[in-house]
């Protein structure tokens, strides 16, 4: 076996090869029994990483899947299938991928012509969201992440996930209901005795995610109900108070 | 490899906080291969949270993840007879299909330069669920996490950028500013170390 090709066993197990290299590596595996064993073992290891991505599936998914399989014909066992030199399935996959690309591009083009202005706004928004999302992920992935949760007195809860290392926190607030007409939830970071606004929700909004930068000197996170669109200092007693240590 | 149930421990002694170590995915999959829809329902309950979670982690967009998760589960049904126990555990087979599909989708979308809008729209539409899951999910993944922590920084980054973000190894090399050959090696020795750690550790 060629050492050179076999060095791809890691990327192969992680699905980190492009189609061409994957095909080359599969050929290599066909001719190399110990390599197959190693690849299988590493793939097995890799799938344990799926444990790290556990998430409750959407409620409708189960029914949809069961309905779909009821009308899906199963394929027969392959016998002792030699690894296939797969022009059939592979081509199909490429065609399917290409079709998906065309569909997506097509849909995009329609939006462009219909609402060019809106798309530009959406793109800016998406760009901002992407930046804040990557920041958010980096905070949540911090090794020293601490998570605190508090009930809201008005019903609901607020969770603060914070990292000293990133010097930042992520607040998720979910209220059982909107706090009434012209009232909004507002977040505060408290430095000593002084609260500073960390953002307010819109009227009628009941969930929010907020990244808070800079925890240095912050002793607590507060939630209050304020007149829309929010106040400069809290005007009511805290609905929840999360200690930051 | 880490499937439970064939080990000697009597079922009534299974500790309570081990909800996902069910007895025998292999038996379920064999039944599914014979067209047993009920067994398929059980298999679904066993693997769907990880299938969906994994796909969503890679794709970011919950709606798209749901669509791909459905394709994957239907594919499991369709090709159950092709599962070969000599080549790995049944759950590994399922998650391999799931990951491959997710990665194919990501790359197709990257090619269409569409991913920014999708990821952005997803972040705008459904931030709460994603984050809440991320936070609670941390508890679920302690063992994997513990073992990931055991890797060198470079090994860990190489493995997670490829697996959870769907990057190819040349992309990982570019992101980490590390030569291609190093990335290949780190992926391989990182996985070997991960394998040894997971084999030694207690079940998650």
Domains of chain B: 1-133 (1.10.1740.10), 141-204 (1.10.10.10)
Q: Is residue A221 part of a domain?
A: yes
pLDDT at B179 over 90: yes
Same domain (yes/no): A158, A115:
no
Distance from CA of A232 to the nearest CA of B (A): 25
Same domain (yes/no): A134, A177:
no
Query: In terms of pLDDT, which residue wins out, A110 or A72?
Result: A72
Report the residue from A10, A76, A125 with minimal CB separation from B120: A125
Same domain (yes/no): A151, A238:
yes
**What is the tens place of the pLDDT at every residue in B124-134?**
333 444 555 55
What is this structure's pTM?
A: 0.54
Minimum Cα–Cα distance from A105: chain B residue? B112
pLDDT at B183 over 90: yes
Whether A146 contacts chain B with CB within 8 A: no
Q: Is residue A72 part of a domain?
A: no
Same domain (yes/no): A26, A42:
yes
Tokens of B113: 């330069």
Number of domains in chain A: 3
Q: What is the mean pLDDT of residues A60-73?
A: 92
The ipTM (two decimal places) reads: 0.74
Residues of A in contact with B128 (CB under 8 A): 172, 174, 207-209
Whether A108 contacts chain B with CB within 8 A: yes
Which site among A6, A13, A15 would you substitute to test the B interface, given the most B Cβ atoms closer than 10 Å to its Cβ? A15
* Predicted confidence band of residue A172 (pLDDT cuts 50, 70, 90): confident
CA–CA separation, A12 and B188 (whole Å): 9
For B21-61, where are the alpha helices, taking DSSP H only? 25-33, 37-59
Contact A65 B89 (CB under 8 A): no
Residues of B in contact with A17 (CB under 8 A): 168-169
Report the residue from A62, A105, A130 with minimal CB separation from B44: A62
The CA-atom distances, in angstroms, between B70 and each of A95, A104, B51, B120, B196 are 20, 19, 10, 23, 33
The CA-atom distances, in angstroms, between A220 and each of A10, A190, A244 are 45, 5, 5
Same domain (yes/no): A98, A171:
no
Q: What is the mean pLDDT of residues A117-127?
A: 52
pLDDT for res A59: 83
The CA-atom distances, in angstroms, between B60 and each of A47, B68, B135, B165 are 19, 12, 15, 9
Q: What is the mean pLDDT of residues A189-196?
A: 86
């Amino acid at each position: 076996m060629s050492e050179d090709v076999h060095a791809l066993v890691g990327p192969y197990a992680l699905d980190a090869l492009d189609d061409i290299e994957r095909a080359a590596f599969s050929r290599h595996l066909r001719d190399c029994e110990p390599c197959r064993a190693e690849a299988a073992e590493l793939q097995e290891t890799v799938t344990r990483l799926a444990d790290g991505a556990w998430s409750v599936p959407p409620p409708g998914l189960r029914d949809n899947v069961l309905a779909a399989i009821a009308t899906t014909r199963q394929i027969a066992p392959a016998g002792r299938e030699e690894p296939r030199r797969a022009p059939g399935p592979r081509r199909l996959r490429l065609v399917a991928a290409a079709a998906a690309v065309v569909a997506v591009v097509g849909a995009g083009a329609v939006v462009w012509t219909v609402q060019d202005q809106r798309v530009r706004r959406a793109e800016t928004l998406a760009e901002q969201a992407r930046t804040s999302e990557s920041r958010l992920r980096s905070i949540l992935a911090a090794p020293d992440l601490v998570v605190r949760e508090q009930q809201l007195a008005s019903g609901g809860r607020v969770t603060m996930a914070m990292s000293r290392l990133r010097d930042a926190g992520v607040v998720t607030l979910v209220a059982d209901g909107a706090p009434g007409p012209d009232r909004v939830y507002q977040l505060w970071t408290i430095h000593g005795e002084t609260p500073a606004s960390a953002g307010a929700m819109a009227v009628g909004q009941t969930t929010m995610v907020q990244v808070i930068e800079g925890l240095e000197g912050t002793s607590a996170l507060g939630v209050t109900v304020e007149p829309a669109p929010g106040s400069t200092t809290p005007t009511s007693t805290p609905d929840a108070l999360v200690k930051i240590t | 490899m880490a499937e439970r149930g064939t080990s000697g421990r009597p079922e009534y002694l299974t500790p309570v906080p081990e909800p996902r170590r069910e007895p025998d995915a292999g038996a379920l999959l064999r039944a599914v291969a014979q067209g047993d829809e009920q067994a398929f329902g059980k298999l679904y309950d066993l693997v769907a949270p990880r299938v969906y979670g994994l796909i969503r982690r890679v794709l970011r967009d919950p709606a798209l993840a749901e669509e791909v998760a459905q394709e994957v589960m239907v594919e499991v049904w369709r090709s159950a007879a092709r599962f070969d126990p000599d080549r790995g555990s049944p759950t590994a087979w399922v998650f391999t299909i799931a990951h491959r599909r997710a990665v194919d989708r990501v790359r197709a979308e990257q090619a269409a330069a569409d991913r920014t809008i999708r990821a952005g729209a997803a972040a705008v539409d459904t931030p709460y669920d994603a984050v809440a899951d991320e936070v609670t999910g941390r508890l679920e993944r302690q063992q994997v996490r513990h073992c990931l922590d055991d890797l060198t920084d470079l090994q860990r980054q190489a493995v997670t950028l490829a697996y959870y973000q769907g990057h190819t190894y040349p992309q990982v090399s570019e992101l980490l500013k590390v030569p291609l050959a190093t990335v290949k090696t780190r992926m391989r020795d990182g996985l070997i170390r991960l394998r040894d750690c997971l084999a030694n550790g207690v079940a998650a």
